[in-house]
Structure 1
Amino acid sequence: MHNNAAHTTLIKNAHTVVAWDDTRQTHVYRHQADVAFAGGQIVHVGPDYVPAAGADCTVVDGSSMMAMPGLVDIHSHLIHEPINKGYTDETGSAGLYNSNLYEYMPTMEGDAEAAPAQLTLAAAELLMSGVTTVVDMSIIHEHWLDVLVQSGLRAYVAPMFRSARWYTRNGHVVEYDWNEKAGVEGMERALKLIDRAEAHECGRLRGMVVPAQIDTCSADLLRDSHAEARRRKIGWQTHAAQSLSEFHEITRRHGLTPVQWLHHLGVLDPDSVVGHGIFVDDHPNTHWSTATDLSILAETGASVAHCPTVFMRRGMALRDFGRYRRAGINLGIGTDTYPHNMIEEMRHVGYLARLMAQTPRATTTGQVFHAATAGGAKALGRTDIGRIAVGAKADLVLVDMTHHLMQPARDPIRSLVYAAADRAVHTVYIDGHRVVHEGEVHSLDYRDAAMKVNEAQQRALKLVPQRDRVAGRSAEQMSPLSFDTI
């Protein structure tokens, strides 16, 4: 690793460069092109880069590589989700429109010992799938910043806080345990951690203000947190329109849809992100009397974090990616859940959009890739990530074009998204530093972390009956295995 700002890295004669065309505000393919970066910034994109005489330059043969911008994951829960693997894959409350949030997810939670292992495992997965920037929406843990710094990720630390906890005692009614003082104190703790993150010497950490969910936060907490985000000039995000139960709860409380309620509170603007935004007023499952939610999102400039995988498991889907784009809404993509694999998430975005719209013309792979890069960057208020352009951050991914799953290579991004996925990711640079090489992360012991997450799940499985408020069921009753054990 070179720390000298004068050192240049040259990706020479890349097979393909997914470069940014600023005039058209879109990515374009450039073949047999060079990409050079120094001091954490891209300094050249195009043919025939010649280092200055006597310059300190590392040359990387790009002839068998596609260079693409690092992916931007705007909605993820790294400290919480890995432990759910094998447990929440097929669960959902029949009496709560198949949502998994209220009855099942609270029964599988990692302990404090598991948090750094979960974060390590998820961060490594992200890096090996080409993610260079992530918004990590998690509960505060003492090792959070340390692991993020060690990983090399460009990360937005987004500690969640809320005024109430949800629960269900019968599987068909969601109840809320309110403690508005705890919400205010949680925001204060979150802001202190954000201050630490933004002051960190690595320069890769930023903060985001995240009142956890629209239905668990008071109106004051939503407004005050947004005002604080604007005062600090940082982003703001909340989960909203993510379940039909939440949609009906907000309409019952306020006579407005979740999107309309956020708009009424004045918290939607170009620096705001709506996590999920699925159940809008004209979604066929809401049966609401208006059709204004998409226009509100477009007119306010708020972004939507689209995370299809976790909802596909419950039989739910945003309707649809192409329709939101045509309405003028900026979309970014988040992995949200396990696996933290951004390329597979892009695959699901494309397939689900076409399925929900019932046409292959619903969206293009280029539009999906835009959401995973420049769209995510826009949601974060940035033009220096999510693109390969002079002056942008040196956040780059090299994809092995000789990998058998990348062949045929007529359209490399399609081959990557629909066939090869992370298996063809060879090298990842963040801020000019190499963090993945030959498909491996060397800064994190993710294999050891995986074993520790497995051990943590074994501990958590024993606690499931205590955590199940409905009937004190065992883990096997809550989530039966794929096959009987004999």
Structure 2
Amino acid sequence: MSDKVIRLRAAWVVGYQAGDHCLYANGEVVYQGDRILFVGHDYSGAVDEDNHLGNSVLAPGFIDLDALGDLDTTVLAFDNQPGWKTGRIVAQDWQRRDLYSREQLNFAKHYAYGQLLLNGITSFAPITSILYRAWAEEVDEYLYAADVVEELGARAWLGPAFMAGYYASDTLGQFHYINNRDRARQGLEDAVRFYERLNARGVPRLSGMLAPDRIEGGDDAWLHELGAVVKSLSCPTRLHCCQSELEVREIARRYQGRTSLEVLAQYGLLNAQMLLPHGQFLGGVAGDVSEDIARLADSGATLVACPLVSGRHGKYLEHYKSIRAAGINLALGTDTWPSDMFTNMQMGVVLTRVVTGDVQAASAADYYRMATLGGAKALGREDLGRLAPGCQADMIVISLDQPALGQIFDPITALVLNGNGRDVQTVIVAGKTVVRDRELVNSRYSVAELHQQSQQVFNHIISTYPERTVGHPPVSEIVKPAFNIVTREEP
């Protein structure tokens, strides 16, 4: 039996014409199976099912290239600084071990991937922290992650994180690089093995990627071997770089004053396959930003902006206008809690205007494109991030009857200004409804159950902070409340 032909009608449909999004007032989308047949007005063919969505926006699902894939502990450092004193850099004397059980890791994937769908993110490349691990991520763990993606009905690019080394801090706040050649080699081999196993699975919504942790975690041999693997597999590869002062300083020290992008280019790692969060420290210690921007533009690599987490750390893309002018592809990642693309679009527009001093530097449309078309281009998937005939039927429905949206003068601007992931009512991936009325259709958990259990897992990981934090202070000194807590006096 062939799939039904289904028509969705909405007050606004975000279509696609002449290389950009467009808006159809009182528009419609017709799809069959996982493919869109028609977008626009007055479809003339027969349909098996006709659905009127009322005062809603029917739009392409968001694409998140640095998606929060576990419980987010960066929020603990929001007001607890400096980070090296509060567990963001592990203690040099910590005997690394896995602080999550496999059961907890598995649950965290159900929770995080479900949250991404609930926020209208239909395609994602998840990232988890390796601060709580004996080393990095494992093949079996990500085979289970693939099971979760299949179960929920999402679309994902997956790959276990791997590294050659990491930085640890002594009690004076001096950082030391600790590497392990055997584990570096094994991590890369495991990443390739996972990529091959995932491709052999033959599930269209599942794709493999390479997820090296971050450039400063590498060494010469690792970067050389990674470059060869990226060339061989020619698959999306996410590598955090130009992210922190520690990275810029250490890369310059270890590579004769070079910038992070110079080092990537040296090892064949600056090309169209590369997804590069966060791009905040272009130019290295010398600050020659123009050369780095030219390198990035010539390479075809994608810069993945993560406005919310960057803003929380007080640093964003000061050179946004030059990056745009150079034609560099820009995409978005959430990277922190909440996994809300609306918040990241709004924060991105606001931060861009602040850091550039130019109110016209970025618009709602610019960041909406980054959340859709930019991500699709980065993945080499022109059938994603837009609603057009032949594209994947990955769609979200956002009600415009939410009072918090205020008055609607333009649906996209209103959503970027005032929207929230909680406004997403329905999510469709590859023609299948995976979120209906704010519940996950295919999950073994209700949203309430996910929330309740996530708090238990989060409490557990907070309890492990003293062992891996410099000086091993109690939790009360690492994660402090905003105000003093007053408890009831016992009689």
Select the residue among 5, 8, 11 that pairs with 2:8: 11
Per-residue CA deviation, residues 330-387 of structure 1 (Å, 9 max, x unaligned), is: 1110011111112211111111111111121111110100000010111111101000
3-state SS of 1:484 partner: coil
Q: 2:172 and 2:14 mapped to 1: Cα distance?
A: 48
Find the counterpart in structure 2 of residue 395 from structure 1: 394
Q: Deviations over 1:4-50 (max 9, x none)?
A: 643112113x21111111x2x21111112211111201100111113
Q: CA 1:182–1:95 in structure 2 vs 1: closer, same or farther (change >3 Å)?
A: closer
Instruction: Name which of 266, 272, 275 aligns with 1:273.
Output: 275
Does residue 221 in structure 1 map to residue 230 in structure 2? no
Q: Which runs of 5+ in 2 are unaligned?
A: 129-136, 487-491
Query: Match for 1:379: what amino acid?
Result: A
Q: Which one of the candidate residues 67, 71, 76 is aligned to 2:67?
A: 76
Q: Is 1:114 aligned with 2:104?
A: yes
**Displacement after TM superposition at 1:86 (Å):** 5.4
Partner of 1:260 in structure 2? 262
8 A Cα contact 2:69 2:127, kept in partner: yes
- 1:424: how far off? 2.0
AA of the residue aligned to 2:277: G
1:243 and 1:102 map into 2 onto residues whose CA distance is 16
Q: Using the TM superposition, give the Cα deviation of residue 94 of structure 1 relative to its aligned residue in structure 2, in angstroms.
A: 7.0
Whole-Å separation in 2 of the counterparts to 1:144 and 1:16: 35
The equivalent residue for 1:481 is 481
1:335 is aligned to 334
- Counterpart contact for 2:59–2:387, Cα < 8 Å: yes
Which amino acid in the other structure matches residue 13 of structure 2? V
Tell me the number of residue pairs that the alignment of Structure 1 and Structure 2 aligns.
Answer: 470
Residues in 2 aligned to 1:28 and 1:452: alpha-carbon distance in whole angstroms: 41
- 1:391-419 deviations in Å (ceiling 9; x for gaps): 11000111112222334221111211221
CA shift, 1:107, in A, is 11
Partner of 1:352: 351
CA contact (8 A) 1:157 1:206 kept: yes
**1:86–1:331 CA distance, 2 compared to 1 (3 A):** closer
Residues 76-98 of structure 1: per-residue CA shift (max 9 Å, x gap): 2403xx252752332342789x9
| Secondary structure at the counterpart of residue 305 of structure 1 | strand
Indicate the residue corresponding to 2:24 in structure 1: 30
Task: Check whether the contact 2:74–2:336 (CA below 8 A) recurs between aligned residues.
Answer: no
- Seen in structure 2, the aligned counterparts of structure 1 residues 233 and 265 have a Cα distance that, compared at 3 Å, is closer
Counterpart residue type for residue 170 of structure 2: R
> Which letter does structure 1 place at the counterpart of 2:400?
M
1:409 aligns with 2:424: no
Following TM superposition, the consecutive aligned residue runs of length 4 or more in structure 1 with deviations greater than 4 angstroms are 98-104, 106-109
TM-score, normalised to structure 2, is: 0.90
Q: Which piece of structure 1 moves more, 471-480 or 384-393?
A: 471-480
**CA shift in 2, pair 1:110/1:349, >3 Å:** farther
For 2:87 and 2:409, the matched residues in 1 are separated by: 40
Is the contact between residue 321 and residue 349 of structure 1 (CA under 8 Å) also seen in structure 2?
no
Structure 1, unpaired ranges of 5+: none
How far residue 205 of structure 1 moved from its aligned partner, in angstroms, is 0.4
Residues 211 and 222 in structure 1, CA contact (< 8 A), matched pair in contact too: no
For residues 387 and 273 of structure 1, what CA distance do their matches in structure 2 show?
20
Say whether the 8 Å CA contact 1:95–1:171 is kept in structure 2: no
User: What's the offset of the Cα at 1:447?
Assistant: 2.8
Taking the TM superposition and a 5 Å limit, the aligned residue runs for 1:5-154 are 5-12=2-9, 14-21=10-17, 23=18, 25-52=19-46, 57-79=48-70, 82-84=71-73, 87-93=76-82, 100-101=88-89, 110-138=100-128, 139-140=137-138, 141=141, 143-154=144-155
State the match for 1:165 in structure 2.
166
1:324 maps to what in 2? 323
SS across alignment from 1:87: helix
How big is the shift at 1:439? 2.5
Residues 91, 471 of structure 2: 8 Å contact kept: no
Compared CA separation, residues 30 and 355, structure 1 to 2 (3 A)? same
Corresponding residue SS for 1:113? helix
> CA offsets per residue over residues 400-455 of structure 1, 9 Å max, x none?
12222334221111211221322321211100000111232232224323322222
Identity %: 26
Distance 2:421 2:482 in 1: 26
Q: Which residue of 2 aligns with 1:178?
A: 179
| Cα offset, 1:193, TM superposition | 2.0
My pick for the range that moved more, 416-425 or 236-245, is: 416-425
